[in-house]
Amino acid sequence: MSDLPSYVDYFYTGGGQFLIIFGALATLASLAAMGRALFAGHGLAEADFFAGWAIVVLALTVGNIFFRIPFNYVFWPLAAVGAGLAVWYGVRERRAGPAGFWRVVVLAAPLVLIASARMASEWDEFSHWLPTARFIFEAQQFPFGGREVSGGYFPGYPYTWLFLVYMANMAAGQLVEAAGSVLNILLLLTFGTGAYRLWCEAAGNPVPASNRLAWSGALFAVLAATLLNPTFVQKVIMTTYADASTATAVGIGTVLAYFILDALAQNETERARVLAWQFGLAMAVLINIKQSNLVLVVMLLGGMGVVALRDPAIRFPAMLKLIVPLLAPAVLIYAIWRYHVMTNLPHGAEAVFLPYEDWNTHVLWPILKQMLVVASKKSAYFGVMAIAVVAGIIGLLRCSTPFHRLAMLVGASFLGYNAFLYLIFVTQFGEHDALRVASYWRYNHHLGLMAVAFGAFALGLVYRRHLAGRGLHRVVMPVLIAVVAAAPFVFAEKLRFDLEHPKPFYRSVGRELPDLMPEGARMIILDPLGTGESAVLTLYGLNERRGEFISYRAAYHDFNLAPVREMVTGADPDHILVHSMKPVVNEVLGTELPLQGYSYLLRKSDGEPVTWEVVKKWPRSDGHWAGR
């Protein structure tokens, strides 16, 4: 561990972080209250939040796309309604979302505190998510143009996740980088209550109508979201990435799908109808978080269809009668967004398939083999999913238990989604990234909470058959509470990966640059020993003033004399930021800068011959950039 002041910094960096915690909690409570009011308290309490989220996103989307109404004109009236409902339910029923959820937040408070202290640090945060979040917060509208407008790499990506970040920032009164990481943690905890419901169902102790979580339920929820979640990867979850929100929507969708099928099996048509509307609104959220999430919605619905066809207790026509609530909300928001992309955004605003001649059809087996290699290294997640697939196949042959229903749902979704991932490696990725199956593990995070839901149900069955009535909770509960309480403190350094060198250094330099260069300056970045992250971090620090930034060159570029000289002369910059050194840099610029120890901002002289003078140099503490 580090010394005490540094260790404290893992949790506390200033009072401003409590603003975003307040903003995030207020947003979740208001949206949950709106969803609860919509369903009059029926359905699953942990899904109410997604209903409120879908309603607000639909209102913001329709208002801005069709009527050009700024987001804040729609947001504040809805926020007032949501806040009023949250206060009403808080006074009347001592709840806004799941009753007793405050216990979950208390148990997870150290983790939430770490998330709120974090600064953005990852490549994709700066290339897309944060610039786009900043754009909609400042512009109060969608981009009606390309990347140069929004700052995000793909302005055509859906905005449902970023709307949640937007709402939390609006509630906090300012743009805060940590909003995404705090919201991701809270979303996972919301799913945890759904996983607890499944565990109780399997254990023969269904959650009562009051749904008031005791400390044992809150503990289970936190464990399901964190330590027992095989896809809890801090560099994905504690960021502004949309993977955790996608996983949460899939997880809640899985819980809802199970109870819809259970209601149909028991011929409880009214309960099934209410749950189907909750599911449909959750799918409206899911389909509009990421461009590829359409496939996840199809997988969930397809899995439900397979169960309805094979389970003798379920009448398939009864399932078909629910098609409108199950599907209509997602179809509506998807159609509206596709209209916007096709009519208001240029080509290239979103990810597209490669031309057929560029598909990786010549390396089909190497791609599949590498997917299997990655899967073999992540045995916890893929092991659970393998069990689900086997149990699902058994259910296909003879569906006789609720466990078979859930296994078929999970197994079919897993196989279908991984077949889709194989398809995009062949049709959308360049050969290099396809052969290393880039982000394959990260994409499987989208099903991570589905695996947790399946595991929770299976554990409930084991408990019911072998452990119930033995009083184990008296021994296990104190141990698990101690583990949950201690884990954030033990892993604090690992969770604060944003403090790894040289990320804070790049952020610090980037914040200074606007004051060191005149408006309209033309800058390039040379970082021959770096990965290129210095460029994306610096660009965000420049507040996306695109006129100032031309290009960059990093270790994966050709850093021989000719291409570097061509870049410097062809781009004609008046400023160059040098973050690491090789002799070729001095040779091209005519400088005699040391090969290690500093980063430099250089300014081109006005006279002839051209010379480069140092505007400012920053000493580096990481000491690893010695040039060769």
C-alpha closest to that of 368 among 462, 292, 318, 435: 435
With 70 as the cut, is the pLDDT of residue 585 above it? yes
Mean pLDDT confidence for 472-480: 82
Task: List all residues 6 or more positions away from 439 whose beta carbon is below 8 Å from its beta carbon.
Answer: none
Provide mean pLDDT across the span 573-598: 91
- Whether 333 and 447 share a structural domain: yes
pLDDT at 4 over 70: no
**In angstroms, how far is CA 455 from the centroid of its own chain?**
22
pLDDT at 570: 87
What is each CA distance from 279 to 261, 328, 333, in whole angstroms?
12, 11, 14
81 with 225, same domain?
Answer: yes
pLDDT confidence tier of residue 628, bands split at 50, 70 and 90: very low
pLDDT of 338 strictly over 50 = yes
pLDDT digit string, tens, across residues 57-97: 999 999 999 999 999 999 999 999 999 999 999 888 877 77
pLDDT at 544 over 60: no
pLDDT at 627 over 70: no
Q: Is residue 172 part of a domain?
A: yes
Same domain, 477 and 523: no
Do the domain assignments include residue 336?
yes
Domain boundary among 435, 466, 495: 495
pLDDT range class, residue 145, cuts 50, 70, 90: confident
Residue 31 is part of which domain span? 14-495
What six digits make up the tokens of 16?
């401003």
How far apart are the C-alpha atoms of 192 and 214, rounded to whole Å?
Answer: 13
Whether residue 508 is found in the same domain as residue 490: no
Cβ neighbors of 183 (< 8 A, separation 6 or more) are: 24, 27, 28, 164, 165, 168, 245
For residues 594-613, average pLDDT:
88
Any domain includes 624? no
In a domain, 212, yes or no: yes
pLDDT band at 388 (very low <50, low <70, confident <90, very high): very high
The pLDDT value recorded for residue 210 is 52
Tell whether 406 is covered by a domain. Answer: yes
pLDDT band, residue 154 (cuts 50/70/90): confident
With a cut of 90, say whether residue 284 has pLDDT above it. Answer: yes
For the segment 153-157, the average pLDDT, to the nearest whole number, is 88
Whether the predicted pLDDT of 540 surpasses 50: yes
Domain total of the chain: 2
396 located within any domain = yes
Contacts of 580 (CB under 8 A, 6+ apart): 526, 527, 528, 529, 530, 599, 625, 627
Whether residue 217 has pLDDT greater than 80: yes
Is the domain of 103 the same as that of 141?
A: yes
**Of 495, 517, 536, which marks where a domain is finished?**
495
Q: Which of 396-400, 409-413, 436-440 has the lowest mean pLDDT?
A: 396-400
Q: Is residue 2 very low, low, confident or very high in pLDDT (cuts 50, 70, 90)?
A: very low
The model's confidence at residue 103, banded by pLDDT at 50, 70 and 90, is very high
Is 44 a member of any domain?
yes
Indicate the range of 332-336, 446-450, 561-565 predicted with least confidence.
561-565
Average pLDDT over residues 576-603: 92
Cβ burial of 563 (10 Å; 0-12, 13-18, 19+) is middle
* Res. 120: pLDDT tops 50: yes
Is residue 325 scored above 90 in pLDDT?
A: yes
* pLDDT band at residue 546 using 50, 70 and 90 as cut-offs: very low
pLDDT score of 41: 78
* Residue 575 near residue 604 (C-beta atoms within 8 A): yes
CA angle 55, 59, 60 (to 5 degrees): 120
Each residue's pLDDT tens digit, 189-206:
999 999 999 999 999 887
Q: Give me Rg for the CA atoms of the chain.
A: 26
544 and 400 fall within a common domain: no
Q: How many residues does the chain have?
A: 628
**What's the average model confidence in pLDDT over 368-379?**
96
Give the least confident one: 134-138, 182-186, 500-504.
500-504
Residue 554 belongs to some domain of the structure: yes
Judgement on whether residues 457 and 603 belong to the same structural domain of the protein: no
| pLDDT value for 211 | 65
pLDDT at 548: 64
Angle of the 503-516 helix axis to the 533-541 helix axis, nearest 10: 40
Mean pLDDT of 158-169: 97
Contact 302, 412 (CB under 8 A): yes
Q: In this structure, are 52 and 139 located in the same domain?
A: yes
Provide the CATH number for the domain around residue 570.
Answer: 3.40.50
Residues 450 and 559 in one domain: no
Q: What is residue 3's predicted lDDT score, i.e. its pLDDT?
A: 42
pLDDT at 53: 98
Mean pLDDT to the nearest integer, 615-626:
72
- Whether residues 297 and 423 share a domain: the answer is yes
619's enclosing H/E stretch is strand 612-619
Q: Among 440, 462, 495, give the residue marking a domain's end.
A: 495
Q: What confidence score (pLDDT) does residue 625 get?
A: 44
Q: What is the pLDDT, as a whole number, of residue 501? A: 85
Query: Are residues 549 and 460 part of one domain?
Result: no
- Give the end-to-end CA distance of the chain in Å, rounded to a whole number: 33
- For 7-27, the pLDDT digits (tens) are 888 998 887 899 999 999 999
Average pLDDT over all residues of the chain: 91
Residues 490 and 537 reside in one and the same domain: no
Asked whether residue 148 carries a pLDDT value surpassing 80, the answer given is no
